[in-house]
Structure formats: structure tokens, C-alpha cells
Amino acid sequence: MPEGLEAEIYARAAHQVIGRRITSVVVDPLCGDGDLLGRLVSADVRAVSRHGKHVLVDTTRGRLDLHFGMTGRLIVDGSAAIQQLEYGARRDDPVWDRLVVSFDRGEMRVSDPRRFSRHRLDPELDLGVDLLAPVDQIADALQGVSRRRGPVKGVLLDQRVIAGLGNLCVDEVLFHTGVAPSTPMCEVADLNRLAEVIATTMPAMLVAGGSHTGDTGPGHRDGDGRCALDGTPLVRSMVAGRATVSCPTHQR
């Protein structure tokens, strides 16, 4: 967290700043280059978009890239796009502001307790197809990595394959595809099915509120969570270096 779905929520909130003029930019030195970002002062915001986990603010003096790390939240004009991240702090503290962009009216800031957020000017992003792209584009991306021998979970977490998928979303996708997370990518039999699940599950989770809303989300990852499809106790393991939840009965 935040994953691509949370970044989409942030991007929609950031649309409010389109048409405004930037009057100052203050960034934590660990999270961005103040001299570079300072070039945006006096720029007008022309557009806001998103790709993967990145929110992109286009201005007359360059593109501002917002990447939120594990605990970054976007707050526009004092209103948080997401009140609380599932694994984030339960309060807001000005000392956690890692980026503050002031405008001729209002401001936009990134609150990030853990200082993992990164904010850059005119980045070159090496990203794959977006997680909310049409199913045919997702299928093409999966076909391009179909010979990889690593676990399918690790491949789906690779932002150069499908940008925006994070740990929670990948577990949810594999849960509904019926594929064990440790399955070698080259042994996944039905890539079209996998693409279809991504293309349908991601928009549904976005509408529900984000990456924490699925059948393998935070409420099912601790304790004695059970599979919503067959009642089997969910199994917790480490796959591709990430904490993983899956059903041993229907995910094979």
C-alpha cells in the first residue's frame, strides 16, 4: 500500500489543481531534490494522470511525478483522498509532510510517516501496461513473459510487466484465477483467464475502495481467515520475498 488503485484515487483527487499556478514547492531532502522541483514555481498545472503507482502532474515547466511508497497519502486543500491507509498511521501529523506544493489558491501535500515516497521532475518511467488497461493489452503483456521460470506472483509484481499491481492485488488476482502464487510463470496454463481476472477484479476493487477490499485482504491475512469460495483455511507463506495468502484447495 498504496498500490495502483490507491494511486488512481489520488490522481482523481489531484484533478482539482488543474488550472492553478504553483507558488512554492517544499520537499523533504530524502524524498526529492528541492532545487529541481523548485523549477516548478510559477508553472501552471495543465493535466493530471496516472500510470501504475505514479501520479503525474503535467505543468508548463515539466512533469511532477508523485510516488507514494508504502505509507504516502495525498491531501488536497486539506482533504485526504484516503483517510487512512490499511497499514498506515491512524492520525495526520504535519511533521510527516514530505512534499508540499502551494498554489495561487490551496495546496497539495504528501503525508508519509516512513519517508519512502519519492517525488521527481520529468522522470523516465520503465513501466509495463497499466493494471486498469483493456484486457487485450494485459493479455499481450502476460504473453510476453510467459516463458519466465520464476513464480507467477513475482512476475505480476514486476512493474515492467503490469504497472500498479502490488502485493494485495496480486494475491487477490491469483485467488480468483485459481493459481497458486508459487507456480512458475511458464506453467500457468491459461494466460487469457489470468488477464480476464485482472481486467475485471481491479476495477471492482477500485469501486469497493482499493486494494484492501478483496477476499485475501487484510481482514483475511491474520488469524484464522478462511477461503470465501470453499471454506478452507487460508495459508500464509513467503513467495517472491513477499507475505502471501492463498487457498491450498482451489489454487493449484
Number of helices followed by number of strands (H, E) in the chain: 7, 13
Q: Which amino acid is at 87?
A: Y
Which residue is catalytic, options 2, 113, 151, 181? 2
Among the listed residues 50, 53, 109, 118, the single catalytic one is: 53
Distance CA(220)–CA(246), nearest Å, equals: 10
Measured distance CA(220)–CA(10) in Å, rounded: 25
**C-alpha distances in Å from residue 134, one per residue of 6, 139, 195, 200:** 19, 9, 9, 10
**Alpha-carbon span 65 to 51, nearest angstrom:** 10
Q: Is 187 a residue of the active site? A: no
Active site residue 153: no
Residues 6+ apart with CB under 8 A from 204: none
Mention every residue, 6+ apart, whose C-beta is less than 8 A from residue 214: 168, 169, 171, 172, 175, 201, 205
Residue 20 known to be catalytic: no
Burial class (CB in 10 A: 0-12, 13-18, 19+), 78: exposed
Residues involved in catalysis: 2-3, 53, 242
